[in-house]
Amino acid sequence: MTAKTDPAHDHFETLAIHAGQEPDPTTGSVIPPIYQTSTYAQEAVGAASSGGKNGRPVYEYSRTGNPTRAALETCLARLEAGQFGLAFASGMAATDTIMRLLRPGDHVIVGNDVYGGTYRLFEKVGAPFGLTFDYVDSSDISQIEAKVGAQTRMVWLETPTNPLLRLADIARISELARGYGVRVVVDNTFATPFAQQPLSLGADLVVHSTTKYLGGHSDVIGGAILGKDPGLREELAFLQNAVGAVPGPFDCWLTLRGIKTLAVRMQAHSANALALAEFLERHPAVESVIYPGLPSHPQHALARQQMRCFGGMVTFTARGGEAAARSIVEATRVFTLAESLGGVESLIELPAQMTHASTSGSGMDVPANLIRLSVGIEHVDDLREDLARALG
């Protein structure tokens, strides 16, 4: 059987379906198999470390490598315009592995609107081991430059941020950081590689919670790191293998299945999100709406410049404070009150009391009346009517 050539210059939609996912050479199975194994027969002592025949990889133990995981890693790397991909058990496991590149005394500049779990990892795990962090408004490049010092090793960005949906100019920040010899890491979970490719804009590493839009169906936990530097890949792969922060093959297979429809899902998420953001802007029970696709967003021009679409995340503040916001999120019927995001179903939550409770008292407190929507791909009329009824 002749294997298909991995698409070299095809469009995103084609890569999402075919990159790293050739038909199985043994059976012809169109879908890559789930290699549900912990170990592998070896041809001879030391064969695994000496390399395989005909350029094929040799596997020895599934913590180190697994064919189903390799398929996912290849696909993700192609979608992010990278040279390598590493899949992890969760987005936080991927983030923690990147932090292990640092040493006591190293300094990291972080956007001051980040996922609560990221802040918790940095402050409760990283800081006690001697890492230092400064949190700045990453939408203002001058604030980043003002914090660069002799010990600065990394700039950590989310764009759009979670949950205030601020944007960072990836290209300008990457250029600035290169001048200081500082790495730039971009958490691309909200945007996905369909909407933006940070590596193409100059970032050194991209991290994902593949649990979200990449998996897309709220049925699997995972993470990923993507990059271009082979030396950096070796460092990260060593750390991953040493620590063991790896996903199982079935989780990798589920994520690959989700990725196949990423392009069409992101277009649907974005179209619904824009329609709801426009509706919310007009509603008298709403104080303010934040969505990069709205002309009212302070960085709408940047969004149009570095993003293909504006994503499925919308946040808004409710008139009447926290009590009103609680009433809204508990009254929806199509939107489910739940943490997480990026699935085909719509979710609603209060970040200050849920996903970002760990930032309370940090100076990065989220407004108590801020509501975060993960807009799904249901019919937009049903979503609009659900919000209208909950808003009163």
314 forms beta bridges with: 373
CATH of the domain at 100: 3.40.640.10
Quick count: other Cβ atoms within 10 Å of Cβ 28?
A: 8
- Of 232, 259, 286, the residue that ends a domain is 259
One-letter amino acid at 244 equals G
Q: Looking at the 3D structure of the chain, how many domains does it have?
A: 2
Q: Can you count the helices (H) and strands (E) in the chain? A: 14, 12
Residue with tokens 């790191």: 225
58 and 134 both lie in a single domain: yes
Task: Check if 172 is active-site.
Answer: no
Residues spanned by the domain of 63: 47-259
363 and 240 both lie in a single domain: no
Options 166, 212, 265, 372, the catalytic residue: 212
312 and 280 both lie in a single domain: yes
Q: Most distant CA pair in the chain: distance in Å?
A: 73
CA separation for the pair 295, 19 (Å, rounded): 36
- Of 259, 287, 321, the residue that ends a domain is 259
Task: Check if 212 is active-site.
Answer: yes
Task: Check if 100 is active-site.
Answer: no
Tokens of 75: 């696909």
144 and 60 both lie in a single domain: yes
376 and 244 both lie in a single domain: no
In a domain, residue 229? The reply is yes
User: pLDDT of the chain along its 392 residues, tens only?
Assistant: 334 545 556 899 999 999 999 998 889 999 999 999 999 998 888 776 555 555 567 899 999 999 999 999 999 999 999 999 999 999 999 999 999 999 999 999 999 999 999 999 999 999 999 999 999 999 999 999 999 999 999 999 999 999 999 999 999 999 999 999 999 999 999 999 999 999 999 999 999 999 999 999 999 999 999 999 999 999 999 999 999 999 999 999 999 999 999 999 999 999 999 999 999 999 999 999 999 999 999 999 999 999 999 999 999 999 999 999 999 999 999 999 999 999 999 999 999 999 888 777 777 778 999 999 999 999 999 999 999 999 99
Whether the full predicted model's pTM is greater than 0.85, yes or no, is yes
CATH of the domain at 381: 3.90.1150.10
- Of 239, 259, 279, the residue that ends a domain is 259
Options 96, 113, 169, 187, the catalytic residue: 187
Nearest Cα residue to 200 out of 174, 225, 180: 174
In a domain, residue 184? The reply is yes
Options 115, 135, 213, 291, the catalytic residue: 115
One-letter amino acid at 197 equals Q
HSE (CB half, 13 Å, CA atoms) of 28?
2
Task: Check if 115 is active-site.
Answer: yes
One-letter amino acid at 225 equals I
229 and 350 both lie in a single domain: no
Options 40, 63, 106, 137, the catalytic residue: 63
71 and 132 both lie in a single domain: yes
